[in-house]
């Protein structure tokens, strides 16, 4: 995929990426559509249920998440109703897990904001994985050079098809 992206870069001039202001977006959405910020635990729980199919195991998951957040290399960051669990895996690479109750367009916007933030912190690469096909479309909507490949992930002790996402920041 990188070779195709490199060819496209040579064929078309670079276009400026618009700047995004999450606070401004929240204000606009609150004023226009009654957009409401949801409690963080609701976002995490509803995302868990969507991915796992039910609430079974949620209590154990939340305990593991709380334990993970004790590590200084793990952070939870929020843009709108989209949250990113950020886990530093090396000096320049961060692995992310997305929890969201936002529509796809808002998730794409949050990903762009998160990428900008991560680049500002000195990261050079971000990775993520999901079993939900909608995240392929969301990754493409960001306009960022996300490399998408198929992989597998473990869910409830079973290997299931998944998508692997890599972004050079």
For residue 86, the cross-strand partners are 75, 96
Dump pLDDT digits (tens) for 55-102.
Answer: 888 999 999 999 999 999 999 999 999 999 999 999 999 999 999 999
Q: How many helices (H) and strands (E) does the chain have?
A: 6, 6
**Dist. CA 97–CA 55, nearest whole Å:** 18
**Dist. CA 152–CA 159, nearest whole Å:** 6
**Dist. CA 151–CA 166, nearest whole Å:** 12
pTM metric for this prediction: 0.76
Closest CA to 137 of 163, 167, 114, 119: 163
Total residue length of the chain: 169
Dump pLDDT digits (tens) for 30-61.
Answer: 555 577 899 999 999 999 988 887 888 899 99
């Amino acid at each position: 995929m990188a070779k195709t992206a490199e060819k496209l870069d040579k064929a078309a001039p670079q276009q400026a990426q618009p700047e995004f202001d999450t606070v401004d977006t929240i204000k606009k959405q609150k004023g226009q559509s009654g957009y409401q910020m949801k409690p963080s635990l609701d976002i995490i729980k509803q995302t868990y249920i969507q991915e796992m199919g039910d609430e079974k195991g949620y209590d154990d998951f939340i305990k593991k998440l709380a334990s993970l957040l004790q590590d200084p290399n793990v952070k939870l960051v929020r843009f709108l109703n989209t949250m990113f669990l950020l886990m530093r895996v090396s000096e320049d690479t961060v692995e992310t897990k997305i929890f969201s109750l936002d529509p796809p367009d808002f998730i794409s916007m949050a990903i762009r904001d998160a990428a900008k933030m991560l680049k500002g912190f000195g990261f050079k690469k971000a990775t993520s994985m999901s079993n939900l096909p909608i995240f392929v479309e969301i990754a493409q909507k960001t306009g960022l050079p996300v490399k998408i490949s198929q992989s597998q992930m473990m869910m409830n002790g079973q290997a299931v098809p998944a998508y692997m996402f890599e972004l050079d920041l």
